[in-house]
Structure 1
Amino acid sequence: MNTKAIYAACLFAALNICTLSARAEADVSEKTYSYGTHLDIKKVVSLSQASGDSCGIVDAKLTYLDSQNKTQVLDYRKFGECASDN
């Protein structure tokens, strides 16, 4: 077997994987919600909020797929989920 050809094929495969992951990250569109923003949500991927036990307004992030299966990220503000002693 020709080891140079095998090494070249492995290098080519690794570079293709890196290129695909870079393209996937580049396709993510991040925007900030404002009143009246049109949302095209097909599937919610994740919901997250700023860390801490804040009972006030906190920053949150919604990651979702739109109707064209593109990943979108929406930053918004919401009431924090705080634990109450009562």
Structure 2
Amino acid sequence: MKISKVAIFLALGSLGAQAFADESHSTVATRQAPIENYTYVTKLDIKKVIAMTDAADQCGPVPVQMTYEDSHGQHHVLQYQVMGTGCSNG
């Protein structure tokens, strides 16, 4: 009887932890800046680069993202195209 109570307690506790983890993930997603697509007429105001994603291992243009801070302290995510790293010279 005692073991079944412990098992029920652990099962309910793990469900509560999963629900809490899902809630914190959605909060992070709402704080993330929207993705802006780069064009040749885009005016850039980059004070500090925070992060950049790596190019995919494909041959051809692939999207990468740069997260940066502008001169007003706002965070932006800029998506642009680069040549993938999967092309061989042979």
Same fold by TM-score greater than 0.5: yes
For these two proteins, the number of residue pairs brought into alignment is 64
Q: Is the 8 A contact 2:64 2:81 kept in 1?
A: yes
Deviations 1:46-83 (A, max 9, x none): 111454x1121001101000001111000111111236
> 2:48 matched to which residue of 1?
43
Task: Specify which structure has the higher proportion of strand.
Answer: 1
Residue 40 of structure 1, CA deviation: 0.4
Task: Specify which structure has the higher proportion of helix.
Answer: 2
**What stretches of structure 1 of length at least 5 have no aligned partner?**
1-17
Instruction: Pick from 62, 74, 90 the counterpart of residue 70 of structure 1.
Output: 74
Following TM superposition, the consecutive aligned residue runs of length 4 or more in structure 1 with deviations greater than 6 angstroms are: none
Normalization by structure 1: what TM-score?
A: 0.59
Q: Is the 8 A contact 1:29 1:71 kept in 2?
A: no
Could you say what the CA RMSD is over the residues aligned between the two structures, in angstroms? 2.5
Paired with 1:85 and 1:78, the residues of 2 have a C-alpha distance of 17
**What stretches of structure 2 of length at least 5 have no aligned partner?**
1-23
Largest Rg, 1 or 2: 2
Normalization by structure 2: what TM-score?
A: 0.57
Paired with 1:85 and 1:79, the residues of 2 have a C-alpha distance of 14
